[in-house]
Amino acid sequence: MAEALSAFFKSPPDGIPGELIEALGRRVTTSDGVLPPRVFLEVVEQSPVAISITDTRANFVYVNKTFERLTGYSYEELMGKNQSILSYKVTPPEIYQQLWDNLLAHKPWSGVLVNRRRDGSRYLADLNVSPVLGVGGEASYYLALHRDVTELHELEQQVRNQKILIETVLDAALVIIALLDDQGRVLLDNMAYKKLLGDMRGREPAEFFLQDMTASNDGDVASGMVNHEICYQPESGAPARWFNCSGVWICTSGETADSYFVPGEERRLLLVANEITVQKQQQERIRTNALQALMAKQQLVHRTREILSGAMFRFQGPLNIVTAALAMLERREGGRDDPLYRILSDVHDSGEKVLESLDLSLPRESNEPVAPVNLNEIVHDVLELCTERMLSEGLLVDWQPAKMLPTILGKQYALRSLLKQLVDNAIDAIGEPGCQRRELIIGTLACDECIELTVRDTGPGIPRGKQFRVFEPFYSGWIHRTRQAGMGLTIAQEIAIQHGGSIHIDSQHADGCLVHVILPLKPPAYLLSGA
């Protein structure tokens, strides 16, 4: 083979300019002078790149050993044969047309062809073809460099297919998935994430999730990244949406040239979120039903206490008259011997026993433990409980909660009952004849050492002379009574006092009724002791 190559360059086939060989020898020089053509020939022969030279009709005039190994053809089998012996039918004709257009225009061409080896197997040839121009500027030969890129193509296709499969699986997943870089930029996401991005009107969901997780963990994103519940409140006023979020940090190798010998690490954050709005709504319904059952039980207890207290109150009047009559008879001489005295005395004793029995029959309030309470949550619960009645009454409810409200120590069920009594009373007021506006406004406000709760309605209001009487048992000033007078406001006042606070009606408010409830941040000692 070496002899044939040497002969090729010493006695080139017809048409090969001898000056081309001389020029090659002149261009490769050493410190000792011109590099011998023999060395140049051996370099080409031993090159790891498959090299071929064809004439202008694409007939082979030279191939190196690497070309033989690549194609499976020997030197002798290829000499004089056309380049098309390697062509395979799946290569589009347009590719060959582009190749020849470039070569005829004396321009190099590079591209990929599907070639066929001697044994019939196919391979992908990354081909670079250049025209060899003579002194007159005409192409005499074509020099081609071949490289088998079949394995590289297969690897690229495998990577591409794996990417397609991964993206298909991710898009089919119902959970929200996003891959972020260490700057928080989204590198990869699925369809569920894209849908949420549209629902959030362009706001990046990953940014929202990370902000919430960071705020909940004092700026540390590395911890607290598992099963973190996040509530998203749409600006459109739509119902709140809940998500269960988790994040996992992934360390990958660097992809730049600098990291080839010195591996670098790049951090990626895999963010997974599952919408749990339905589950939250179910939990809220269950909790609301439990609260309704509990409040119904408490109202039953209150109603029973009201009925029995009312009976005792009504019964106490005649009994006081009997007591006064006995006292008058005792002051008379011989009054105790009067038959009337004995009758009244028996009536009095029987009455006392009845009052004692009624008092023993009064249901006792449950000893509720003291715990941290957020009044905004209390308002939310009471509004949920009263939603059906407010809708039936056609009320417009405006809730104005304080954004940052400290918790207080108190009895949450008792505080719910307090607010429930105030809301029920406000709804009764709005139901009075002549009310044009039907609005209920509830607000919370954090003060220095206390929290203020306000309940305002657009009813007829309460005259100044009766603003204290409304807290008396069984008092009612409504014209249109929806229920019997009871102890609702009395109970509310007792609960406020029990928590060391107060409740009063604003005498300066003219448009309806405004009730202020003041609850201290530090409860009284007797509340903490359970007294």
The helix (H) or strand (E) run that includes residue 270 is strand 265-275
Q: Which residues pair with 241 in a beta bridge?
A: 232
- 136 versus 93: the higher-pLDDT residue is 93
Q: How far apart are CA 416 and CA 428, in angstroms?
A: 18
Alpha carbon 443 to chain centroid, angstroms: 29
Checking if the pLDDT of 11 tops 60, the result is no
- CB contact set of 187 (below 8 Å; sequence gap of 6+): 179, 180, 181, 268
Report strand pairing: 450-457 vs 186-189.
Answer: unpaired
| Model pLDDT, residue 191 | 93
Q: The domain 154-254+264-275 is classified under which CATH number: 3.30.450.20, 3.40.1160.10, 3.30.450.40, 3.40.50.1820?
A: 3.30.450.20
Report strand pairing: 502-505 vs 513-520.
Answer: antiparallel
Angle between helices 412-430 and 488-498 (to 10 degrees): 140
| Average pLDDT of the residues of the chain | 82
Task: Give the number of residues written for the chain.
Answer: 531
Checking if the pLDDT of 369 tops 50, the result is yes
pLDDT tens profile 174-211: 899 999 988 889 998 999 999 999 988 878 999 988 88
- 258 versus 424: the higher-pLDDT residue is 424
| Model pLDDT, residue 176 | 93
Closest CA to 132 of 5, 6, 13: 13
- Provide the pLDDT confidence category of residue 222 given band limits of 50, 70 and 90: low
Q: Where are the domains of the chain?
A: 2-148, 154-254+264-275, 281-361, 371-529
pLDDT tens profile 67-126: 999 999 999 999 999 999 999 989 999 999 999 999 999 999 999 999 999 999 999 999
- From 33-42, 178-187, 217-226, 424-433, the region with the lowest mean pLDDT: 217-226
| Model pLDDT, residue 79 | 93
pLDDT tens profile 479-498: 555 554 456 788 888 888 88
Specify whether the backbone of 227 is left (phi greater than 0), alpha (psi in -120 to 50) or beta. left
One fold for 2-148 and 154-254+264-275: yes
Q: How far apart are CA 26 and CA 15, in angstroms?
A: 21
Closest CA to 384 of 399, 402, 405: 399
Count of CA atoms in the C-beta half-sphere (13 A) of 234: 13
pLDDT tens profile 31-62: 555 667 677 778 888 899 999 999 999 999 99
Q: Count of CB atoms within 10 A of residue 84's CB? A: 9
DSSP letters of 182-216?
Answer: TTS-EEEE-HHHHHHHHHTTT--HHHHHHHHHHHH
- CB contact set of 317 (below 8 Å; sequence gap of 6+): none
Q: Which residue shows structure tokens 């009284």? A: 524
Q: Looking only at Cα atoms, what is the longest distance across the chain?
A: 167
Checking if the pLDDT of 15 tops 70, the result is no
Find out whether 83 and 54 touch, Cβ atoms under 8 Å.
yes
pTM of the model: 0.57
Identify the CATH number of the domain defined by range 2-148: 3.30.450.20
- From 374-388, 453-467, 495-509, the region with the lowest mean pLDDT: 453-467
End-to-end Cα distance, the chain: 111
| Percent of the chain clearing pLDDT 90 (strictly above) | 32
pLDDT tens profile 272-308: 999 999 998 898 888 778 877 777 776 677 667 667 7
- From 3-12, 60-69, 77-86, 519-528, the region with the lowest mean pLDDT: 3-12
| Model pLDDT, residue 210 | 87
Q: How far apart are CA 16 and CA 138, in angstroms?
A: 11
Fold of 371-529: Heat Shock Protein 90 (3.30.565)
Closest CA to 383 of 370, 359, 361, 401: 401
Q: Which amino acid is at 251?
A: C
Alpha-carbon torsion (21, 23, 29, 34), positive or negative = positive
The 3-state secondary structure of 63-100, one letter per residue: ECHHHHHHHCCCHHHHCCCEHHHHECCCCCHHHHHHHH
Please report, for residues 38, 183, 330, 501, the alpha-carbon distance to residue 340 in angstroms, rounded to integers and kept in the order given.
154, 97, 11, 51
- 25 versus 338: the higher-pLDDT residue is 338
